[in-house]
Structure 1
Amino acid sequence: MPDTKPDTQGRETMSKYEDHTRQSLDGQSVSPGDESGSDAMRWAPAPADEDATTKAIQTAADAAHALLGRAADAYVSLVNDVLGDGTHHMVASASTRHRRFAECQELTLTDDCLFIDETASVRLCAVIAAAMVGGATGGLVVRTFTIGGPEFVRGWRIQDRWLRPLTAREIREAYTVNAETGAPMEPEPEVEYRQAERVPRPSQDPTGGAGAIPAPRDNRPPNRRD
């Protein structure tokens, strides 16, 4: 009959090993009787300035909230004031020093009705925000389909933390030149390449006075505002 007694010695050994590993990762000293010779190999974290770390994290969070707020302002202004009626296929792209991002969305505007996927809107805004980071580049292309009307394409460059309209020639070249080789490509039939409209900035002046300089909206959580 097999021995069913618990292996108490094995458990004690494992427990000591776990304690030693945990203490090593925490940078704590081990008992002087420990002959494992691991003191010279132990990783000990450098002392950190907690206040400086907290401040750095808060600064990064504030910057991220500000960029997302600016991207959301640009997106809402585009949808409300520029796109017009029709079904719109939107593609946003961003290139940062670390990687490239791209997101697409389809929405439909008819009279005063908007049919939209909110999750896709958030993802698109995140890419626009990424392109607004210093040193990054990006753009937004919108292909519009209308009932009984032409199919047309417009584009905006993400520059100076806003959407800057591309000319009809610029958006046409973007669609008719191979981005990798520079070789010309045939334009798509029955597609118009149009001059993009200026995307208005939301007014921040409650009096509507002339010459007011719009300030970025404070999108930070209440507990992070001064």
Structure 2
Amino acid sequence: MQIEYTKEHWQILSQKRTTAIEVLNLLKRYGMEGFVYGSVARGDVNEKSDIDVIVFNPNYIILDTLKVHHKYIIQATPNSVPKAYLSFDEEEKIVVSFPLGKLRRTEIEFYAFGGMIELKGLLENKRVAGVNKKLMLIIPTREGHMEIQLDGNEDYASKLLKISLDTIMERKNLLLKRSERGHSGIFLRYDLDGNESIYDAFNKIYKTNKFFKRMVNA
């Protein structure tokens, strides 16, 4: 199916990408490379779309000093690597995240599954392919995007997104389960208090949660 973007759609996309560029430039000034992932990378945004940024090789000390609205740590499941999140706003619409342990290949490829782009790509006004939450493969076009069902096109998606078929199937099955059962809960969320540092929060959870400890040491 071909989707042609309206003038309003292009304006929303431009506004969100301008904000994303500001965040990535902030990280770059501190020597870190961030990547925007999801609809802002693909282009199929709406007014409620989040601006999500991942930093794979973070400087924890510097990130801890950034002025943000609030910070929290999430471990999605007992077997996933915990991540720290810095929210620039109360509604968590602009968020920078970074892993607190070594990510597995499938965890890294998760970001490419949804579409991921770096600062240079944003500055060049590029958009990338990726799969949305409705399991539609979004392929950017000059006028908007083309979308096809992921189901039955997994091999094509794997080649287009340059990620393993294992990751495609894992993400597909997870999103199908969420669709059938509703949004599943997360294993652990820790919201930092006031001036509490990520370092202090990390140590507190590390000492009290064996699953957290196991995954950051994995």
TM-score normalised by the shorter chain: which range applies? under 0.3
Q: Please identify which structure carries the higher helix content.
A: 2
Greater relative CO, 1 or 2 (CA 8 Å, sep 6+) = 2
Report the TM-score when normalising by structure 1: 0.23
Higher Cα radius of gyration: 1
